């Protein structure tokens, strides 16, 4: 697994999400801001987990909870996509 920059992941994501579309520069910029804001939350969480006041168990639980939250959101998106088509 390669560890890529946020910009690299943004480029991959934006190619996928905007495929077949002609988004305005404003739409692309607003989406990029949201993407980087989400990344910022994760970066800060990772830094906080590395601090002495957060146990390893708490850190593991934190990241498991984030993963479950993302999976739940993805499942909802896919369900809405199926229902919309």
Chain segment 10-34, per-residue pLDDT in tens: 999 999 999 999 999 999 999 999 9
CA 54 from centre of chain: 23
pTM: 0.78
pLDDT of residue 81: 80
Collect the ranges in the chain with pLDDT lower than 70. Answer: 1, 85
Sign of the dihedral through C-alpha 83, 33, 10, 62: negative
Inter-CA distances, 53 with 1, 56, 58, 73, Å: 30, 10, 10, 29
Distance CA 41, CA 65 (A): 14
């Amino acid at each position: 697994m390669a560890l890529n920059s946020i910009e690299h992941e943004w480029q991959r994501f934006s190619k996928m999400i905007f495929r077949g579309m002609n988004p305005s520069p404003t739409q692309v910029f607003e989406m990029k801001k949201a993407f980087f804001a989400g990344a910022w939350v994760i970066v800060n969480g990772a830094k906080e987990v590395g601090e002495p006041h957060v146990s390893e168990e708490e850190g593991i639980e934190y990241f498991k909870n984030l993963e479950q939250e993302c999976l739940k959101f993805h499942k909802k998106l896919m369900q809405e996509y199926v229902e919309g088509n």
